[in-house]
Amino acid sequence: MPCLIVLVAMLMPRIALFLVWLFSHYLDHAYQTRLWLVLGFIFMPLTTLAYAWAINSNGSVNGIYFAGVLVAALIDLGVLGGSSQTRRRGS
């Protein structure tokens, strides 16, 4: 079951973020205000989930948790993974 949740979060991070917010208090522990959740939902949903995971698991973002948040931020920014520019050139 946890692997399925991670797969949904990677494929559809906004839906996963909404479902986590709707059905648990997981995000409330990591974020003090709803402003960061709204901004994270709009601009960087995977990073928002990764930061919440780091805070809930470790209490801070250091070590392997920092690496997880960093990879999520790079994916959100489009540095990792296929970008539309790469797909257009390859076709």
Predicted model pTM: 0.79
Averaged confidence pLDDT in the chain: 85
- Mean pLDDT of the 12-23 span: 89
- Mean pLDDT of the 8-30 span: 87
3-state secondary structure of 24: coil
Q: For the segment 32-80, what is each residue's pLDDT rounded down to a tens digit?
A: 888 998 999 999 999 999 999 999 998 889 999 999 999 999 988 887 6
Residue 22 pLDDT > 80: yes
* Domain ranges across the chain: 2-90
DSSP class per residue in 33-64: SHHHHHHHHHH-HHHHHHHHHHHHHHSS--TH
d(CA 48, CA 13): 9
d(CA 72, CA 50): 7
